[in-house]
Amino acid sequence: MKSLKFKKFINSVNQGSFQIINAAAGSGKTFSLVYRYLKKLLSAETDDVFRSMLALTFTNKAVNEMKGRILNFLFLLSSDPNNEKIITIYRMLIKDLNLSEKILQHKSRRVLKKILHEYAAFEVITLDSFTHKIIRTFARDLKIPSSFEVAIESDQILEELTESILEKAGVDQDLTKLLVAFSLSKTEELRSWDIGKDLYDFSKLLLNENDRLPLISLKEKSLEDFLEQKNRFEVVLKTTQKDLILIGKEALEIIKSNGIEKEDFLRKGIIYNHFKKHSNGVYEDIYANKLSTDLLEGKALYAKTLDENKKEIIDRIQPQLTDVF
């Protein structure tokens, strides 16, 4: 089972009375943390060992998930140990703790009851909350008000970050060339030359936990690496655009050679217009229509008022147009 594989890709470091679990997103950290927490809870001589335990994680979402799992697993261990949601952990605990099924059930019930009665002592919190508690404890020594509040002005920080990059324009030659090229590419696309908003929007990725690993991989890239990648992308883009123009012309030739005109098609010649855009190298909103559904479902493409001869011709070339599409 997947849940039994966590030891293979989770790096666990024991440091005396605490343990660090370091792993990538989706690798089973929460399962590993919950299991170790339950193992510690249920192996202790007393039912209130959680008072002296502390589990730290990064986000409030992870805290809520971990707390929910611990409580839910304790409930199932005490009431329905053969439930498929808990059976893996149940068997692992019996083996690792060397307890009988009956003792494990009774212990789980007592510990759960104790936690619910002393929920404030159930310390599964974020690193930020932990740091906040320490600072509040030593507020007098740090000469700050004990009633201080933490305000995270992420927007302000990102705005300052963006400004610091733009201020290097004219000073850092390589960065200046890149920023100017970016600005010019925007004007070529008939967009505002101002790149400040683009940099600001991109900087928001720094605050997203899901983007952490991809950003780390980008950190090792040099400016030359990015420029080389940009050049490769432009080559692929131009080649693809040429191919699309040829595809559009191919479709129009099929239509023309069979004596069919734009007005002969359904919805004011929507399929004709589609391929016409292709042939002219225009791709914006090109799929904002129902053509895909019409073609895949084999719906008639001709106008209802069209004469029978042309209807037959359009029916005959429809498979070709579908392939080109």
pLDDT digits (tens, 9 = 90+) for 207-257: 877 787 788 888 888 888 888 988 999 999 999 999 999 999 999 999 899
In a domain, residue 30? The reply is yes
Question: pLDDT tens across 81-122, in order?
Answer: 888 888 888 888 888 888 888 898 999 999 999 999 999 999
Whether 85 is in a domain gets the answer yes
Cα 23 to Cα 11: distance, rounded to the nearest angstrom: 6
Asked if residue 50 and residue 32 are part of one domain, the reply reads yes
195 shares a domain with 102 = no
The total of structural domains in the chain comes to 3
What is the rounded end-to-end Cα distance, in angstroms, of the chain?
Answer: 44
Phi-psi group of 148: left, alpha or beta (phi > 0 → left; psi -120 to 50 → alpha; rest → beta): beta
Higher pLDDT, 150 or 171: 171
Overall residue count recorded for the chain in this entry? 325
Is residue 318 left, alpha or beta, with left meaning phi > 0 and alpha meaning psi from -120 to 50?
A: alpha
**What domain range is 236 assigned to?**
228-324
The answer to the question of residue 148 being in a domain is no
Is 172 contained in some domain? yes
Confidence of residue 12 (pLDDT cuts 50, 70, 90): low
Picking from 166, 189, 187, 188, the residue whose alpha carbon sits closest to that of residue 178 is: 166
Note the pLDDT tens digit of each residue in 52-77: 898 888 888 888 988 999 999 999 99
Contact by Cβ (8 Å): 309, 321: no
Q: Which residues of 50-68 are buried (b: 16+ CB within 10 A; e: fewer)?
A: beeeebbbeeeebbebbbe
pTM of the model: 0.47
Cβ neighbours for 9, distance < 8 A, ≥ 6 positions apart: 23, 24, 27, 28
User: Do 36 and 79 belong together in one domain?
Assistant: yes
Do 6 and 132 lie in one domain? The reply is: yes
Report the interhelical angle of 223-257 vs 308-324 (nearest 10°): 160
Same domain, 117 and 193: no
Cα gap 99→95, rounded to integer Å = 7
Closest CA to 158 of 204, 208, 216: 204
